[in-house]
Amino acid sequence: MANGVYDKTLRLIYMKIFNLKIIHSSLGTALIILFCTVVLAFGLRGLPGNPTADDLNAPSWKDSGPLELSPERGRFALLYSLIEDGSLQFSLPIARFATPDLGITPDGHYVSLFAPAVSFVVMPGYIIGKFFGASQVGTFAVIALFAIFNVLLIRAIAIRLGADKIAAAIGALIFLFATPAFTYAVTLYQHHISVFIILLSIYLLIRWNNFWSLASIWLLIALSAAIDNPNVIFMAPIGLYAAAKMFIINKEPAKINIRFRKKALVALIGALVPIVLFLWFNQASHGNPLKLSGTLASVKEIDASGSPMTPPLADNPSKAFDPVQKGKSAIGFFETRDLLNGFYIHLFSPDRGIIFYAPVILLGLWGFLFLLSANKTAGNILIAVGGAVFLLYSMWGDPWGGWAFGSRYMIPFYAILAIGLSFVIARWKNNYLFIIIFLPLLAYSVWVNTMGAITSSRNPPQVEVLALEKLSGREEKYTFARNLQYLDGNDSKSFVFQQYGKNIMNARQYHWTLTVIIFACLLGLIVWYALVKHKDSSL
């Protein structure tokens, strides 16, 4: 009898510890993380060394290096100033490095024009990278880490809403490697941190309904503004739904009872810490807690004496750096009259359009037809967030995102579409017509975006090309054809290629090798999924 009980107990323990679903689920997650880590490591841009302030102004770090564009430089400048100089205001070499997107305070100090939180978030990467003699690479690696988190969150949200696990994994990987999200996962931009905050808030909203989940959502909403100011608008649908959870509605035959949840109100305290820190930063940086960095007067160039070079103003040169005179305000960047042009830029233009850079992700639009029937509330939240991103940046005065690879502003939109794409793949994985359309679009999207990741983001918008050609005296490409030229010159900003790969292969071969690896892995996953006969996949 004792032996029977003992054997039964051992079997129960064995089943708990070695349950195949648990093992396979954990293994699947580990393989996804490993795959993303390896590919991002091969794409991560950078140079070895711990550059000084003077080093950063060299072309090898700026225009022809990993810190090629002002959003990267502006955030890295604040990071460097914080760690190396212990100051929120820039020394002259760092100010020169941060131009042309450099802010100036009323009392003449140079400061960052960008929301500050990204520079604080990547500090551990800089410190660890500096220890190993590669401070800039360590900094960029933090953004790659957030990109991996986003893959896991897209997968988790899609599964939570009813998508099969393999389909959810495919959709998440397509987001990272078949859209411009790949390019901005290997450099220093805010987009992946913004996406992380949006996706984590959505996951908390649909996964739990308690004090801690609501407090975390309010904290993330408040933090989002310090990552990138427009995030507050994208988070608004999430905030409205979280606010609705403060009330309990009981419908009775004769009346409706509405009861307020006091704990939910207390959860608003979660927003206080980021708000207080954000106000403190504004005060310490430029002396006004309620003034956003982006509304400060900007300096495009600094003269030899260290003074800002004043652009000519016919009426009053002394007001050349006055943001009011220059029409700069927090809401002045958005104009409804720009909507149609913004739609064209983000969807159809050859220099930024999703159709040219990531056509496969547009298939995710059909997924929301399936998602709304499965979970209407969650579907509406996702549509509201994605719609807010698309509409806001279509009204943006610079829908091109400056010099950029693809439409970088649409990266949160790509993440939302990836969730929808998971449902499309789950529904049509055995549909031959869908596969015939889907696979070529996937291959093309991976090819284009792998090229963007390992080369450069310095692609001018089409509207600037004529002026640029007058300056350069040659034909200037403005689509990913510019990246092809980069490869033809055997150039790549990939740290691995520059340090190790160029001794083995040229840049085009490096690009094709990464493209084939990514596509082959996705294709293998798709084929395996199509052959799986049971719905409860163990990935």
Q: How many CB atoms lie within 10 A of CB 439?
A: 15
Per-residue pLDDT tens over the stretch 376-432: 888 889 999 999 999 999 988 888 988 999 999 999 999 999 999 999 999 898 888
Could you tell me if residue 198 is inside a domain?
A: no
| 306 and 442 part of one domain | no
Q: Which residue has 């996706």 as its token pair?
A: 199
Question: Is residue 245 a contact partner of residue 264, using CB atoms and an 8 Å limit?
Answer: yes
In the three-class reduction of DSSP (H, G, I as helix; E, B as strand; rest coil), residue 40 is classed as helix
Q: Are residues 379 and 453 in the same domain?
A: yes
Residue 186's nearest CA partner among 492, 433, 478, 396 is 492
**CA dihedral for 198, 204, 205, 207, sign (positive or negative):** positive
Could you read off the pLDDT of 104-157 as tens digits, one per residue? 988 888 999 988 999 999 999 999 999 999 999 999 999 999 999 999 999 999
* Helices marked H in 115-207: 117-121, 123-131, 135-160, 165-177, 191-207
Q: Do 499 and 452 belong together in one domain?
A: yes
Tokens 């999924």 identify what position?
A: 529
Instruction: State whether 423 and 309 are in the same domain.
Output: no
Q: Are residues 531 and 406 in the same domain?
A: yes
DSSP classification of residue 316: -
pLDDT given at position 292: 82
Confirm whether 202 is domain-assigned: no
Q: Where is the domain boundary, 329, 351, 381?
A: 329
Residues 435 and 508 reside in one and the same domain: yes
Give the span between the Cα atoms of 413 and 203, in whole angstroms: 16
Domain range holding 134?
A: 48-145+298-329
Q: Residue 393 in 3-state DSSP?
A: helix
In a domain, 168, yes or no: yes
Q: Is residue 196 part of a domain?
A: no
Tens-digit pLDDT profile for residues 265-313: 666 777 788 888 888 988 888 888 888 887 888 888 888 887 887 554 3
**Could you tell me the two tokens for 484?**
């092809």
Same domain, 181 and 275: no
- DSSP conformational letter for 334: B
- How far apart CA 109 and CA 91 sit, in angstroms, is 9
- Do 19 and 83 lie in one domain? The reply is no
* In a domain? residue 137: yes
User: Which ranges of 228-375 does DSSP label H, i.e. alpha helix?
Assistant: 231-234, 236-244, 262-266, 272-286, 339-347, 354-357, 364-374
Residues written for the chain: 539
SS3 for 383?
A: helix
Q: What percent of the chain has pLDDT over 70?
A: 85
Q: Which of 137, 130, 124, 133 is nearest to 47 (CA)?
A: 137
Q: Are residues 10 and 57 in the same domain?
A: no
- In the sheet that holds 102-104, the strands lie side by side as 110-112, 102-104, 297-299
Confidence band for 240, pLDDT divided at 50, 70 and 90: confident
477 in the same domain as 404:
yes
Sequence letter at residue 11: R
Question: Which among 292, 321, 342 is the end of a domain?
Answer: 292
> Which has the minimum average pLDDT: 20-29, 321-330, 351-360?
321-330
- Structural domains in the chain (count): 3
322 and 375, same structural domain?
Answer: no
Query: Does residue 200 lie in a domain region?
Result: no
When pLDDT is cut at 50, 70 and 90, the band that residue 44 belongs to is: very high
Name the DSSP letter for residue 297: E
pTM of the model: 0.88
What pLDDT is recorded for position 319?
38
In a domain? residue 206: no
- The reply to whether 310 and 400 lie within a common domain is no
Task: For residue 341, give every residue at least 6 positions away whose Cβ sits within 8 Å of its Cβ, in sequence order, or none.
Answer: 394, 399
Confirm whether 152 is domain-assigned: no
- Which of these three, 240, 269, 292, is where a domain ends? 292
**Strands (DSSP E) along 426-469, which ranges?**
none
CA distances from 415 to 198, 240, 299 (A): 10, 21, 34
Report the alpha-carbon distance of residue 382 to residue 368 in Å, rounded: 9
Q: What are phi and psi of 298, to 5 degrees?
A: -110, 155
Rg (CA), the chain: 25
Question: What pLDDT shows up at residue 256?
Answer: 64
